[in-house]
Structure 1
Amino acid sequence: MRSTELEYVGFWARVGASVIDMLLQLVVVLPLTFALYGRISQPDRMFMGIGDFIINLILPAAAVIAFWVYKGATPGKMAMSARIVDADTGRSLTAMQSLIRYLGYFVSLIPLGVGFFWIGFDRRKQGWHDKMANSVVVRPSGDEPVKFQGNADWRVAPREPGL
């Protein structure tokens, strides 16, 4: 798929992808939490224990970063045939870019989510986390073709049946 056949993915499509990802995360996290503690929450505890920290923060972060590095997208973005790529070259993100992008989620979230809402106003539909990692989210077709430096050529993974 040539870069001229791509479009930037906007705010609402990315919200939809995030909802899919969060639901999948809950399917994994809730049973693990229940298995570890025998219940989903511990209202008598103010701070997370090491098990909570690993299950709720470390495992999801590792999974998301691994999906970005090896698949170019999380399952939610794959469902819409979108990929996260380097904003200059159109190539897959490096592990370091993926880590920076994930940490950038916190930067985007802290000022009342302004860094995420930025996607709706940015010409390349980049949130602050995308700008920090020099990434863009693209998918096939569109009215405004995506331009990368050089002749980047990548293929969007086809949507698998049942997703």
Structure 2
Amino acid sequence: MRISSPSIDYLAGALHLASFLFAWLTLNCFSQAMHVHRMILVTYRSILEIMQKNSSDFPSASFMRRIFSMVYEVLLLAAVLFLASFIFISLTHDTQSVLMKPIFRGYLLMVCGVYFIWFWVNGGQTLAMKTWRLRLTSKNDSALTIKQAVLRFISAFFGICFFGVGILWALFDADKQFLHDRIAGTKIIQM
């Protein structure tokens, strides 16, 4: 079967139009992708500039800002502990027996420790601290070590358990730092 000349012209025109549309869409998508890429680079560079500043360039966080951050942290931590409890109860089906009660409490304390220590070591900010634009650094403006983060968590735990003495310490401290910050050699700055 032979295709007539008008049909070939029509088919060639359709293929030409399709190739033009494909090229236009490809270039348009490429242009938009390049625009998004440029926006990401600008954002990355501005974040990098902020991260390269010394923490001494930033002021210390106020007492009330840290308290509000802690209240928000409690809400976020409640969600994390709810999920961790669900997993524990799903696996053990018991949290009330004499044996399981201390194991369950230790497990929840361990989950809290992993949550805080991981965020403090990896960037110096928990989710609530990011929201309130706070960052935890060591006294010499460097990132926290795991040893400092563990020491801060343990001393914060005991400072809060003993009637909040670790928090109230900041009201009388010369630099307005919490007791666990003094013990661990850390400070909270406002970004």
Query: What TM-score do the two structures reach when normalised by structure 1?
Result: 0.71
Quick check: 2:124–2:143 contact (8 Å CA) kept in 1? yes
Give aligned-pair identity as a percent.
24
Which residue of the partner structure matches residue 102 of structure 1?
Answer: 153
Deviations 1:27-74 (A, max 9, x none): 122133234437xx96776972424421x1101101100100011121
**Residue number in structure 2 paired with 1:57:** 109
How many residue pairs end up in the alignment?
136
| CA-CA distance at 1:24 after TM superposition | 1.3
CA contact (8 A) 2:70 2:128 kept: yes
Match in the other structure for 1:114:
165
Question: Which structure is richer in relative contact order (CA contacts within 8 A, separation 6 or more)?
Answer: 1
Q: 1:127 to 1:37 in 2, by over 3 A?
A: same
Give the Cα–Cα distance (whole angstroms) in 1 for the partners of residues 183 and 121 of structure 2.
16
Aligned ranges 1:16-95 → 2 under 5 Å: 16-37=68-89, 48-54=101-107, 56-87=108-139, 89-95=140-146
Structure 2 unmatched runs, 5+? 1-52
Residue type of the partner of 1:103?
I
Q: Distance in 2 between matches of 1:2 and 1:35?
A: 41
When residues 106 and 28 of structure 1 are mapped into structure 2, their CA distance, relative to the original with a 3 A threshold, is closer
Q: If each structure's helix is expressed as a fraction of its own residues, which one has the higher value?
A: 2
**TM-score calculated relative to the size of structure 2:** 0.62
Structure 1 unpaired stretches of 5+? 141-163
CA distance in 1, matches of 2:128, 2:118: 14
RMSD: 2.5
